[in-house]
Structures are given as structure tokens and as C-alpha cells.
Amino acid sequence: MISFNNSSFFDKKIFDFDNNSNFKKNYDLSKKKGDELSNEFTEGKNEILNSFTSAYQEKIRIHYNKINLKDKKKVVIGLGGSSSGAKALSFFKNDDIIYFDNLDLEYFSNFLKKNNLKDFIFFIISKSGDTFETLALLNLLINEAKNINEFNIFKSLIVITEDKESILKNFSDKNKISIIEHNPNIGGRFSVLSETGMMPFFDMNIKIENGSEKYLKLLNSNFEDDQNPVKNVAILKTCIDQGNLGIVCNLLYNYRLKHFSYWFHQLHAESLGKGGSGLTPLTSICPKDHHSMMQLYLDGPKDKFFNIFSPPDQSYFKEFKKEGFFNIENYTPSGLLQKQFESVIEVFREKKIFHRIIHLKNHDDPLNLIELFSYFILETILLGKVLDINPYDQPAVQLIKEKIFKS
């Protein structure tokens, strides 16, 4: 379970939003847009939010149960939202799913040389069915498989793509490759809880809906709830209004969240970076970045909003032994990390730097990731609506695709 702490924004000595008329105006706007978004869901007009539900997750289970894995290892080939959410969950769980999410030819070549392709099942994911990099890797995979005796690679492929005319769909139909339909009403960066993101995990007994479904009620939660996206979007909008805010940075004191933060990059950048607006997403791994980026964060331009993710609750080491390292031996190992985290929070408050704290309870539970996905999807869509930005499209990206097609 995750929790939020926004106390600095309502501390009279720091930001005092309780007495900020602009915050109150932004809260009313956020509440109005939140009600509209909630109505979209209840009226069946938002498939993204529908993917949070148990009914939607049951449909994915039905698809998954038709796949014969035969104890095979899993490989996911897909770019952007086709793989980033699943990769974040894999990294958090420390599982053995392999991802190819870039046209890294050296990495792919090494995989083909060092592994027996008969040991794997490959999830080939492209919403459009025309993604250059995905098709390139699939082409190389198929041609490598031709060198293996008595092996039909097509029986080891699961394609997830839209049910429409495309290169990948046509190729899959021609070669009788198993196809699972990519929901046409869920864009890639929002697809983490749909077939696209969750299909590789349904043999791992993760009840996705236990982490996602409750978030559909948050749009109507109380103001006092720091996890209320309506309240948080009003805070973000007020911070944007106050100055030259241009960056949102995830400070991670929990290394397992690294790939979640990379997933967040795409969610935030593609949804909100339009028409000269948007917040550039960054990730800092801490305390490592205390020794590189922290000087800038504390004493550079105040153009940043920080999501600060707390250290894990678990204690992996009991104590430091007495070796004469006097500056650390008064702490436990986990206590030292916690003290670094708390000291940064203290300085952020003193310097009046925009920040909120996000804490994961029961650190090993993968539902923490499902909750983070659910929350930030809601917050990002709602922030787009409050900023009068369409959060669902990405028109500028199409310009690059058009250039490639022309050549």
C-alpha cells in the first residue's frame, strides 16, 4: 500500500496553501474536472480507467489461460508503453523476464548467440502494428530461428496488436501466429494495466485489481486524504502558476522503483508536453545523487517539483560492526539511509522547495507498483484536463514517423 505526505504545502511557515486563494480556485477547477473524469468512467466512456476493474482483469486471465507456456522463459519485445510498465514490475519483483525495448543490436545479437530460442516464448507488442524497432527485432529473430532444426518460431510467438490492417497483423495472420487484441482505446503509455502490460504476469498470482480498482474511488475522496488526485493536481497547478516550474523529479531512495520512474517519464512527457507546455521528468537515484545532482536541486533554480520516494521499510542488515568508522556506526544500515532521507526532507522544507513524500508499505508486495501505476495515470490525465491539454494524444511524435516513412 502506498501513502502520500503533502504537509509542507499546508504548513503556515512554508507554503501555506490553506490561505492561498489561487489554490482554492485550482482545487475547485480540479474537482470539476475530476467529476467529469469520474463520469466518463461510470458512463463507460474511458477504457483506460476500465482497465483498473476486476471485470477487465478477468478478460486478460481468459486470454492468458489459452497460452501454453510449457515452463518456457518469457521475452517481451516492444517499445515505449508496450514494455515500460511490465519492465518496471519485473524490475521491482526481480523476476527473469527479458526485455528488448530499444533497437540495441549488440544486446539483441548477444542474446541470440548465447541462448537456445526453443526455451522461450516471445511477446511481440505493438499497438499500431507498424513500430519500426519492434518489426526490426522480430525480423532478426525469425531469421535466426530458421537456422534451428525442427523449430517453428511462429508457435513461440504471442503478438499483441490492434485488430486492424497493419504489417504485424497481416504477417501474424499469414503465419497463424497467436494474436491478442491490443485495446484500440488505450494508448501505449496508459496500457500498463491492460493486456499489453499485464499479460506476462498472470502465472505469478498477482491480483492486479486488488491494487488498481480502489483508485477509481479516489476522485471522490475527502480533501484531507493526501492521496486524493484532485487535491494533488490542485497543488501541482498552484506550483505551476507561482513561477517558472519546468521539471518534475522523482528522488528515489528505493532503487527498485528505477524502472517505474522511467515509465513515469513517458506517461508525463507524452501526455503533457504539448503546445509549449509540460514538465520535463527526471529521475535521481539517492543517496548516490547526493554526490552529483543535489547541489543543483538545493541551490539552483527553483523550477522543480519533487516526488520523494522513501527508503524501504525492510531491514536487510542488522548492524554495522565496530571497525572504527565512527561516522556511521551509531546507525543501523537501514537507519543510515533513513537519516539521509529525513535530512534531505528537512533541508527541502527549510529552503521551501516544492516536494511531496511517497511511501510504500510492505515493500516486497508487487501491488505497490500496481497502486503507483493506477494513481499516476489518474493524476496525469486529470492534470492534463486542468491545464487544458489533451492528455491522450502525442501529435509531435508522428512527425518523426512521417520522415522515416518518406525515406
Work out the average pLDDT over 100-115. Answer: 97
Q: Can you tell me the distance from the alpha carbon of 28 to that of 238, in angstroms, rounded to the nearest whole number?
A: 12
For residue 200, the model assigns a pLDDT of 80
Work out the average pLDDT over 344-373. Answer: 95
Contact 134, 142 (CB under 8 A): no
Q: At what angle do helices 367-386 and 229-242 cross, to 10 degrees?
A: 50
- Residues sharing a CB contact under 8 Å with residue 101, sequence separation 6 or more, in sequence order: 76, 78, 79, 80, 82, 83, 84, 87
pLDDT tens-place string over residues 127-181: 999 999 999 999 999 999 999 999 999 999 999 999 999 999 999 999 999 999 9
For residue 407, the model assigns a pLDDT of 60
pLDDT tens-place string over residues 13-38: 999 999 999 999 999 999 999 999 99
Q: Is pLDDT of 339 > 80? A: yes
Q: Can you tell me the distance from the alpha carbon of 269 to that of 279, in angstroms, rounded to the nearest whole number?
A: 7
Q: Is pLDDT of 243 > 80? A: no
Size of the chain in residues: 407
Q: Is pLDDT of 3 > 70? A: yes
Cα-Cα-Cα-Cα dihedral sign, residues 387, 26, 2, 217: negative
Q: Which residues pair with 304 in a beta bridge?
A: 247
- Residue 55, CA atoms < 13 Å, CB-side half-sphere: 4
Closest CA to 115 of 91, 92, 96: 96
Cα-Cα-Cα-Cα dihedral sign, residues 185, 192, 54, 210: negative
Domains of the chain, by residue range, sit at: 2-38+210-386, 70-202
Q: Are strands 355-360 and 2-5 parallel, antiparallel or unpaired?
A: antiparallel
Q: Is pLDDT of 205 > 80? A: no
For residue 6, the model assigns a pLDDT of 96
pLDDT tens-place string over residues 361-388: 888 899 999 999 999 999 999 999 999 9
Of the candidate ranges 34-38, 181-185, 392-396, the one whose mean pLDDT is the lowest? 392-396
Q: Can you tell me the distance from the alpha carbon of 375 to that of 192, in angstroms, rounded to the nearest whole number?
A: 12
At 45, is the pLDDT very low, low, confident or very high (cuts 50, 70, 90)? very high
Q: Can you tell me the distance from the alpha carbon of 398 to that of 407, in angstroms, rounded to the nearest whole number?
A: 15
Residue bearing the bigger pLDDT, 295 or 320: 295
Q: Can you tell me the distance from the alpha carbon of 356 to that of 367, in angstroms, rounded to the nearest whole number?
A: 21
Homologous superfamily in CATH for domain 2-38+210-386: Glucose-6-phosphate isomerase like protein; domain 1 (3.40.50.10490)
CATH 3.30.428.10 fits 70-202, yes or no: no
Q: At what angle do helices 132-145 and 105-114 cross, to 10 degrees?
A: 30
- Residue 218, CA atoms < 13 Å, CB-side half-sphere: 28
Question: If you search the block for the grid coordinates 549488440, which residue do you land on?
Answer: 106
pLDDT tens-place string over residues 259-272: 999 999 999 999 99
For residue 199, the model assigns a pLDDT of 83
Is 70-202 in the same CATH topology as 2-38+210-386? yes
Q: Is pLDDT of 232 > 70? A: yes
For residue 327, the model assigns a pLDDT of 87
For residue 106, the model assigns a pLDDT of 98
Please report the DSSP string for 115-162 in residue order: S-GGGEEEEEE-SSS--HHHHHHHHHHHHHHTTSTT--GGGGEEEEE-
Closest CA to 136 of 266, 144, 113, 69: 144
For residue 202, the model assigns a pLDDT of 72
Q: Can you tell me the distance from the alpha carbon of 131 to that of 121, in angstroms, rounded to the nearest whole number?
A: 20
- Alpha carbon dihedral 341, 343, 346, 348, in 10-degree steps, equals -70
For residue 281, the model assigns a pLDDT of 98
For residue 71, the model assigns a pLDDT of 82
